[in-house]
Structures are given as structure tokens and as C-alpha cells.
């Protein structure tokens, strides 16, 4: 999968060019299917997840504890 660098002079991060949106994870998409999608995305080389805290009932901290290989999102600014 193609990669790109995001960030600024203080923080630079190399991520996949494709970003997987997680808006329906935990609501319309059940847990098993959500993890299957995440696994397939990671296996294809994906590293960029959109985990906006405004998305429905997705609980990133609880879910990411089951997949420790995913980087933890952080807040800046």
C-alpha cells in the first residue's frame, strides 16, 4: 500500500494513503465484522484510521486494547 508522511516539523508520521473510516464500527457493524475489516485493512498495509470521537458508539480505547499493534490516536493542540 502506498504511504505518505503527515504532520509538521514537530511530529512526522508515515501512514497509508488510504484511511479507513470507523464511523459504523460498534453500531451498524457488529464487533466481529469490525475486527475482520480492521484485520484485512492491516494485512493490506493500512495504518491510517479515522476514529473521530464524534462517531456514534465506537469505543476506541476498549477496542484497541484487543489489537495492541494499532497505534494509539492522540490529541494535539
Cut 0.85: pTM above it:
no
Q: Is the pLDDT of residue 60 over 70?
A: no
Beta strand pairing call for 19-21 and 3-7: unpaired
* Catalytic annotation, residues: 55
Three-state SS string across 44-62, please?
A: CCCCEEECCCCCCCCCHHH
pLDDT per residue as tens digits for the range 11-53: 888 999 999 988 888 788 998 999 999 999 999 999 998 877 6
Percent helix, strand, coil in the chain, to 5, is 25, 25, 55
Q: Is the pLDDT of residue 54 over 70?
A: no
Largest pairwise CA distance in the chain? 39
Amino acid at each position: 500500500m502506498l504511504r505518505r508522511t503527515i504532520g509538521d516539523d514537530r511530529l512526522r508520521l508515515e501512514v497509508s494513503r488510504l484511511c479507513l473510516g470507523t464511523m459504523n464500527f460498534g453500531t451498524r457493524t457488529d464487533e466481529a465484522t469490525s475486527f475482520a475489516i480492521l484485520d484485512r485493512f492491516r494485512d493490506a498495509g493500512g495504518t491510517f484510521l479515522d476514529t473521530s470521537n464524534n462517531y456514534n458508539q465506537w469505543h476506541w480505547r476498549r477496542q484497541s486494547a484487543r489489537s495492541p499493534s494499532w497505534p494509539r490516536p492522540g490529541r494535539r493542540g
